[in-house]
Amino acid sequence: MAVEIERKFLVASDSWRGLVIRRQRMRQGYIAGNAWASVRVRVAGDGAWLNIKGGGLVAVRPEFEYCIPAADAEQLLALCEGPLVSKTRHWVPHGGLEWEIDEFDGDNEGLVVAEIELGFEAQEFARPNWLGKEVTELARYYNVNLVKHPYRAWDETERSP
C-alpha cells in the first residue's frame, strides 16, 4: 500500500521566497471528502492526477495517485463540490529535504502552508527559520476542507491556531 508521511506548518516569515528552486500553479477539486478519505482531481501544468487519501487528519495515511488525461481532469473538475482550490506551489530545499510551500489564491488568498514529506514517521528534520506552528492535526488547513470553509471566511480565532 502507498503511504504518505506529511507534516503541515504555517510560515512565520517570507524569507523562504528567496530560496525557491521551482514553482507551479495548481488547480484542484474534490469529488468526495469526509473525515476518513478524500478523492481529489488536480491539474498542474500539462499534467493531471486523480488522488485518493485515507486516514483522516494524521501525518501518516494511505495515498494513491494516478496520472489521468488532462481532458478527463477538466471534466472531473466540473463535478467537484464547491469552489476549486487554486494555489502556487513553491519548492524550497532545506537540510537535505524539500519543502513544498503552498500559497493559495481565490477564496483562500492569504493562506500560506509549508509541507514536508518524510520517509518515516519519527524522521528528524531541520526546521528552517521561516517555519511557524505545526497544523498537521488541524482540519481547517486541509485542502479538502478549504473548499467547504475557505480562508476568507475564517474568523480571527481560526486564523490564529
pLDDT digits (tens, 9 = 90+) for 83-122: 899 999 999 999 999 999 999 999 999 999 999 999 998 9
Range of the domain at 46: 3-159
Average pLDDT, the chain: 94
Judge residue 28's burial from the number of C-beta atoms within 10 Å of its C-beta, 0-12 exposed, 13-18 middle, 19 or more buried. Answer: buried
53-62, 106-115, 150-159: range with lowest mean pLDDT? 53-62
Distance CA 105, CA 111 (A): 8
Contacting residues for 135 by C-beta, under 8 A, at least 6 apart: 8, 9, 10, 113, 141, 161
* pLDDT value, residue 32: 87
Helix (H) or strand (E) run with residue 159 in it: helix 156-159
Q: Residue 85 is inside which H or E element, if any?
A: strand 85-94
First to last CA, the chain: 33
More confident residue, 34 or 103: 103
Q: In this structure, are residues 29 and 85 in contact, taking their beta carbons and an 8 Å threshold?
A: yes
Look up the CATH number of the domain holding residue 79.
2.40.320.10
Grade residue 37 by pLDDT with cuts at 50, 70 and 90: confident
57 has pLDDT over 70: no
* CA nearest to 61, candidates 18, 144, 2, 19: 2
Residues taking part in catalysis = 30
- What is the pLDDT, as a whole number, of residue 142? 92
Q: What is the mean pLDDT of residues 128-136?
A: 97
Mean pLDDT to the nearest integer, 17-36: 93
Question: pTM score, two decimals?
Answer: 0.92
Q: Give the whole-angstrom CA distance, residue 51 versus residue 133.
A: 27
CA distance 76 to 61: 24
The count of structural domains within the chain is 1
For residue 2, what pLDDT is reported? Answer: 87
| Residue 140, pLDDT above cutoff 60 | yes
**Gap between the Cα atoms of 88 and 24, Å rounded:** 6
